[in-house]
Chain A
Amino acid sequence: MLVNTLDFWWKFALIFLALTVILAFCRSRSGRVANYFLLAVSYAMVYFYSPMMAIVLLAVTLITYGGALIVSRRGGGKLKSAVFVLLGLLPLFAFKYYNFVNENLSAAFARIGIDTSLPGMNLAIPLGISFFSLQAIGYFLDVSRGHIKAERNLGDYMLFVAFFPQLASGPISKASDLLPQIKSERTFSYEQATSGLKWLLWGMFLKVIVADRISALIHNPLHYSYYYDEVSVTTSVFLYSFQIYCDFAGYSFMALGLGRLLGLELINNFERPYFAMSVTEFWHRWHRSLSIWLKDHIYIPLGGSRCGKARNYANIFTTFLVSGLWHGANWTFVLWGGIHGGVQVAEKRFGLNKLQSRGLVRALRCLTTFAIVSIAWVFFAQPTAGDAIDVLGHMFSSEGQAKIDLFIPLLLVAVVLIKDIGDEFNIKNLRVLHHPLPIVRWTFYSIIMAVILIFAEGGENFIYSGF
């Protein structure tokens, strides 16, 4: 299931080969046969990774599939929809939030002398449960609001929820984007496949070279910050921003690439988020599929911006608290969401969210946004708010003497920034993977491949696969 392992790659090579054979020999029914094949492969992968995950995935799929058919046929009362949403989210709540709610409620009641504690649940959270649950619930809500028609073909719907490249860490696809592709006939597209390979290569480089290398280097300064001097702690805080970007974007780009190789176009989750001029813009570039989901299913139903200012600000803030809680059952995530929500409310209040700038002003705004986002990541990365505050404190004053070697991580960050600058400003000579001269492109493909094969640690988990 983890796309950065050799084990996955040889399996994927066989899957791809089989798919191209299907597309070549089942011309008239290629889409249907390919769908059944991809569905079988997706469930086999999930099952062999964790049978429990396969059961949960199937349960969420069947609840939302059946629920959507029922509300579309018999009319969807709010109560009926709420029941199906709750049923669909039940596994997510049970696995992810039960202990959190139990512990916090018990602690709250204990203060007034009432013992309400229930036994804790010690079960591993199924991989990607937050992603496929949201995708399935998003589909159900779209149907119940009449935005799309209910899908009748169970096989197609099962593939929509279980399509393996997006299962572990998203993107959270919209039914209106992915289901029509699944239902259409497919032929092999050279352009789509080569572009898929480029995304795969770049995503793999971001994950196994940049993210894993930075992770190894900054782990100690972020977890034992009292041993390190201020420069090392501060640099580690900013490097963590690149680690999480390269880790999550790396996975998302690989998922995008795998999807294209298999003939399906997934949403691009990342558009150079650290070039954002405001936190509001950051969320249009970072984990875009989650932002869209939250906008469609939390922010707009709360009233969105079509209400008074105070209510609008409250809606933004609430949406980001939910976003924080979605990332994990811990108050640090809620704080992280609160920081993002609070800053966006401030930006809206002062009109910074829509203000466009150029040149030096743009650069300064990008740096300010990057600094805010980086500080918020400290809460995201630390186990408790107290630890986060300690790390932030050690950025300014630390008695530690230890230092970290910055050459390799800064070199890697420079490579990522050069590539992103090329894409952001469409500078042809910096867009080496899309360079017009084949010799330049192929040289870079080969260099990236060699660097991955020589230096990759391999098998490191993705940060977001734990959510």
Chain B
Amino acid sequence: MKRFYFKLLMFALIVAAMDLGYGIFFDHYRRSTQSGLTLTDHMAAEVTEAPVIIFGSSRAWRHYDSRIITDSLGAGAYNCGYNSMGIDFFLPRLRQMLNRYTPQLIIYDITPLYDLMVSESWPVTLSNLKPHFFDPAVYSNVRERDYAEWIKCHSAFYRLNKKLKKIYSDRNSTQELHMGYAPLNGNKNTKGRPSIKITKHKAMTPDPAKLAMVEEFINICESRNISLVFVLSPYYKNDMGEQDKVLRPIADRHGIQVIDHFNDSTFTQDSTLYWDQPHLNSKGAAMFTRTVVSELGCKDRIRKCNKR
């Protein structure tokens, strides 16, 4: 039995050494990736010090042309949007940034499903936070939310499981990126021809845990004197009705501006502006970004700050 346990221990040590090696290799591989969402994620988490930051799901990533914002406000902007991510991802992401610098303005594109409503979002969020596990902000966030996962995440194999393939495909991606912004051109092809598939949506219920995180996000911004603006960007042939009923009371309580174009018929009825139902294409994004910038209540202050 001693011999068996000795060999088992030897094997465990080999696996632990491989685990360590894989973690080092993976971090290098991830940081050296110069395209795709991997690059946006790396820049947002570890590099950018842009005064204007865009947060939100893929709708943020696809809807805000950082170049237009930079030119209009005279302040560098970086689009930190991340596919399928909501407030439980962007709260630790904000803390990661604040350990590095303090942005002046955060434009947070709200997707109700990810930011306000009940959805099974934590497993996917955790999976996207894992590459940054040892960042103090993420480390403490995971420990508070899921202690068992926090223990498992100390293994690089577990933490980075399935991520290698994603990074490999991002490295070979030809996706355009402009200061984080990833434009989509034309319409998505469905069944071999350009068309937009319309999906019907079910009624959603507000998630108290997510709403508490939104409050916390606002409190952090207030304490660090960061201007925060919530935006509800348009949705093609929207059947979800008004979605600001949940957000508006919180925003009003803190005096946060909400720019609501969720049901704006200027956008919601024009298929030439969309790549698919939830996402504007590059033409729609340019138009929408200009609209948002023109409506920003704090734009003069940002311009003034960055002139100096």
* B1–A453 touching, CB < 8 Å: no
- Besides A6-B152, A457-B162, 15 more A-B contacts (Cβ < 8 Å) are A20-B5, A24-B1, A193-B4, A442-B14, A445-B11, A446-B14, A449-B11, A450-B18, A453-B158, A453-B161, A454-B22, A454-B157, A454-B160, A455-B164, A455-B165
Q: 6 A–B contact pairs at CB < 8 A? A: A190-B4, A442-B11, A449-B18, A454-B22, A455-B161, A455-B165
Contacts of A6 in B (CB 8 A): 152, 158
Contacts of A456 in B (CB 8 A): 161
Chain A's closest residue to B151 (CB) is A10
Complex Cα spacing A190 to B5, Å: 10
Q: Is the interface of B mostly helix, strand, loop or mixed?
A: helix
* A190–B3 touching, CB < 8 Å: yes
Complex Cα spacing A345 to B158, Å: 50
Task: List CB contacts (< 8 Å) of A189-240 with chain B.
Answer: 190, 193-194, 197
Complex Cα spacing A363 to B165, Å: 36
A contact set with B: CB distance below 8 Å = 6, 20, 23-24, 188, 190, 193-194, 197, 401, 442, 445-446, 449-450, 453-458
Chain A's closest residue to B26 (CB) is A454
| B7 within 8 Å of A (CB atoms) | yes
| B298 within 8 Å of A (CB atoms) | no
Q: Is the interface of A mostly helix, strand, loop or mixed?
A: helix
Give the one of A442, A453, A456, A458 with max B CB within 10 A.
A453
How many CB-defined contacts (below 8 Å) exist between A and B? 48
| B192 within 8 Å of A (CB atoms) | yes
Contacts of A455 in B (CB 8 A): 161-162, 164-165
Complex Cα spacing A20 to B8, Å: 14
Give the one of B4, B11, B15 with max A CB within 10 A.
B4
The minimal Cβ–Cβ distance linking B203 to chain A, given in whole angstroms, is: 25
* B7–A194 touching, CB < 8 Å: yes
Q: Which of B8, B11, B164 makes the CB contact (< 8 A) with A454? A: B164
Complex Cα spacing A190 to B152, Å: 30
Task: Given the known inter-chain contacts A24-B1, A194-B4, A445-B11, please indicate yes or no for A450 contacting B157, CB distance below 8 A.
Answer: yes
Task: List CB contacts (< 8 Å) of B1-38 with chain A.
Answer: 1, 3-5, 7-8, 11, 14-15, 18-19, 22
- In the A-B complex, list the 3 residue pairs whose CB atoms are closest, starting with the nearest: A453-B157, A188-B1, A190-B4
The minimal Cβ–Cβ distance linking B122 to chain A, given in whole angstroms, is: 16
Contacts of B164 in A (CB 8 A): 454-455
Contacts of B160 in A (CB 8 A): 454
Chain B's closest residue to A191 (CB) is B4
